[in-house]
A = this chain, B = another copy of it.
């Protein structure tokens, strides 16, 4: 089942700048084969529901393996059965 979503990752206790971790999370989403669109507060994604969720897991496991002690992600997942959800469709719909 296809999904659109939004993923925002925040490392806690890594210092005031979180730039490196956020870049890393965005790269993982792109490597996961998701359609990933960066915006100021996170990354909008489009792909199979299980791939989106799997990418969240990969972000947490990878960043912890690289030394991040504490990580919080805010994830929005949207699915619908009446038509194929897409990021483009949502933008065309003015963010619906």
Contacts and interface: CB of A to CB of B under 8 A. Distances in A.
Interface of A: 1, 3-6, 8, 10, 12-19, 22-23, 26, 37-44, 49-50, 53-54, 56-57, 60-61, 64, 68-82, 87, 90-91, 93-96
Given A10-B72, A82-B70, A22 B94 contact: yes
A73 B80 contact: no
A20 to B, nearest CB: 9
B19 A16 contact: no
B64 A81 contact: yes
B79 A76 contact: no
A82 B8 CA distance: 22
A44 B40 contact: yes
B44 A4 contact: no
